[in-house]
Amino acid sequence: MKLTHLLTAALLLASPSFAQDAEAPSVEGKSFQERMEATMLRAAPPILRKTSEALKQPWDANISLNMEMEMATVEAEGTFSFFSPRLFSANMNFSIDVEGQEMDARIQAVADDDYLNVFIEASELPMPQAVKLDLDVLEELTGQGDNTTASLDMLGMGIEDLETMFSKIEFKESKLDDGATIRVSYDLSAILETTGAQVGIDFDTMSIELDVNAKTSFIQKISVDLGDIGSGSCTFSNVSFPEEFDETKYVFEAPQGVPVMDVTGMLSAGMQESASLGGEEEF
């Protein structure tokens, strides 16, 4: 489901961890991830910087996801509650059709400040599964940028090359619903054409639209068009901004009889191995 990852990438411009402030940030003295985030925000219009700030405050919303690909369709609906990058919860019901084979799944994810807990129940699984990841280890692994750097090495690129490409993104802004909604459109086709050619992936297009509530600066809808590969959208509705912390939203309890497997060690070993392999040269 590569389109799932691409939809996630579209969220980067407005994710809670993407911006540290609403001003266009400097890249001086920053880590790999911070440099990429700062580069993107420097090119983005002010409304997306405000959206980044809006997404960092506590919020609840209903989420609807739709993806149309050449051989599969995915539809999902559920709820999402966010308090901080270490305190959030999601409950989603999925309907998946792969070449006529249908599957239903329910996924619950809860970050309780110590662990990211994930419960999966699907019609194609013999039994429900539950796993947990230590958030401290996860933050350490994803914050180092080693895997991304190794991937760039494999593409024969450096971070400066990637920064140059991102800085050339052109954003178009328009108003909908008598100004109640602001739509920001941008095209990543040129970037994907450059990076995709290095790994043998042919992207003919990738355009993204973000619909933002003009009053709250919160995202209403994200749409991604990948041309012949497929398209997808994610809609946020019934958005609210709770003023008090409700700890019951961020407590995970696996159903009776379902063991919770700690996969932190496996994830850590796998990511370190990936970074090691990515840095090796072949002759």
65-116 tens-digit pLDDT? 999 988 899 999 999 999 998 999 999 999 999 988 999 999 999 999 999 9
In degrees, to the nearest 5, what angle opens at C-alpha 63 toward C-alphas 259 and 249? 50
Dist. CA 82–CA 74, nearest whole Å:
24
Q: Quick one: pLDDT at residue 275?
A: 52
Give counts: helices (H), strands (E), the chain: 8, 12
- Identify the H or E element spanning 276: helix 264-279
Reported confidence tier of residue 281, pLDDT bands at 50, 70, 90? very low
- CA 249 centroid distance within chain: 21
Name the residue among 166, 208, 202, 154 with its Cα closest to residue 10.
Answer: 208
- 139 or 88, which is more confident: 88
- What mean pLDDT, rounded, does the chain reach? 78
pTM listed for this prediction: 0.76
Stretch among 9-13, 38-42, 89-93, 129-133 having the lowest mean pLDDT: 9-13
Q: How far apart are the first and last CA of the chain?
A: 32
Residues 6+ apart with CB under 8 A from 180: 213, 214, 215
Dist. CA 211–CA 204, nearest whole Å:
24
Q: Quick one: pLDDT at residue 13?
A: 35
Dist. CA 74–CA 222, nearest whole Å:
15
- 246 or 282, which is more confident: 246
Reported confidence tier of residue 186, pLDDT bands at 50, 70, 90? confident
Q: Quick one: pLDDT at residue 44?
A: 76
Dist. CA 161–CA 56, nearest whole Å:
29
**Would you say residue 29 has pLDDT above 80?**
no
Name the residue among 151, 180, 181 with its Cα closest to residue 278.
Answer: 151
- 283 or 98, which is more confident: 98
**Would you say residue 282 has pLDDT above 80?**
no
